[in-house]
Amino acid sequence: MKDHQKVVIIAGPTASGKSSLGVELAKVFGGEIINADSMQVYRDMDVGTAKPTFEEQRDIPHHLFDVANPDEEFNAATFRSLALPLVREICSRDKICLVVGGTGLYIKALLGGLLKSPPADPELRESLRQECESHGSEKLHEKLKTLDPESASKIHPNDRVRIIRALEIIHLTNRLPSELSREHGFRDKRLKALKFCLMTDREELYNRINHRCTEMIKAGLVNETRDLLDRGYSPRLKSMKSIGYRHAIKHLEGTWSLSETIRNLQGDTRKYAKRQLTWFRSDPEFNWVSPDDFHLISMKIKRFLEKTA
């Protein structure tokens, strides 16, 4: 059987140093980078998503950045459909493929496939969305927790998109998403992967997050958000409800002062980083490394690439 294409995964929580490490590794190994961040796919959402700088992207080919408008649907299935051909194309040129990002579901979908689940039911989805608007996502999360505690434990109470989709699957299939997940097992493995997750001291990570949030405001997050709203992008869009943009909208609406916006942005980003770490810890295949362990990471990649079996 022909050897599968090989990819190196650089994952980790926000502000852990994934982008800069990916660029340095790409320089050493002659690699190219595929984005695995669910927000960096969107055009004109640069400050709030902390995209790699122009200088970082100039020297190393970067893929799957700026491939969708903020009002376009983009999900794990879309990501996999675009990323798999890219991996093949990069590997066919004898380049090293580095998948860099903090969206665990995208990485999982790329490496193991996706559940075969029914298409969305617009009427049911709208009904669930209205219920969410009226009673809050926490109420729907409690409903999911009653029906499928295992699935609910993996979805944050504020993640209305995934909560609604899980309830939709239960209604349409009379099956629990957790059961479907176990049956599928994410075994559609077409790639061989070496997986790293960046591990940083919690206090240091939180300090980096706090600093990044402050710098985002200084760099023009509020103006970027205002421009998106002025161009007609609804604050109800999934992209506009993401961390950073929803905070800037609160400020623009007059709900929060600038200092309150920064404080809430910092707190919510720290919570998001904690959820990211919980996700990656559930995968035993990850090598946990410090972003400063460049020599160790390089040696592991070298051995991985040299293996023929």
Model confidence over 136-167: pLDDT tens digits?
888 899 989 999 898 888 787 878 878 988 89
Same domain as 301, residue 216: yes
Question: Within 10 A of 188 (CB to CB), how many other CB atoms are there?
Answer: 12
State the average pLDDT for the chain: 91
Q: Which of 153, 168, 184 is the last residue of a domain?
A: 184
Over residues 164-174, the mean pLDDT reads 86
Q: What is the pLDDT of residue 61?
A: 95
Same domain as 233, residue 198: yes
Of 20-29, 128-137, 251-260, 294-303, give the lowest mean pLDDT range.
128-137
47 pLDDT above the threshold of 60: yes
What is the rounded CA–CA span in Å between residue 186 and residue 177?
13
Same domain as 255, residue 192: yes
Tokens of 106: 């995208």
Over residues 170-190, the mean pLDDT reads 74
Q: Which of 166, 184, 202 is the last residue of a domain?
A: 184
CB 18 within 8 A of CB 198: yes
Q: What is the pLDDT of residue 189?
A: 72
Over residues 212-226, the mean pLDDT reads 97
> Number of structural domains, the chain?
2
Over residues 235-240, the mean pLDDT reads 95
Percent of the chain scored above 90 by pLDDT? 70
Same domain as 85, residue 217: yes
Q: What is the pLDDT of residue 166?
A: 87
What is the rounded CA–CA span in Å between residue 45 and residue 241?
12
Tokens of 303: 């051995």
Q: Which of 184, 214, 236 is the last residue of a domain?
A: 184
Tokens of 302: 């070298």
309 pLDDT above the threshold of 70: no
Question: Exposed/middle/buried for 236, CB within 10 Å: 0-12, 13-18, 19+?
Answer: exposed
Same domain as 64, residue 32: yes
Same domain as 196, residue 90: yes
Domain residues for the domain of 265 are 5-114+188-306
What is the rounded CA–CA span in Å between residue 280 and residue 275?
9
Same domain as 147, residue 165: yes
pLDDT band at 308 (very low <50, low <70, confident <90, very high): low
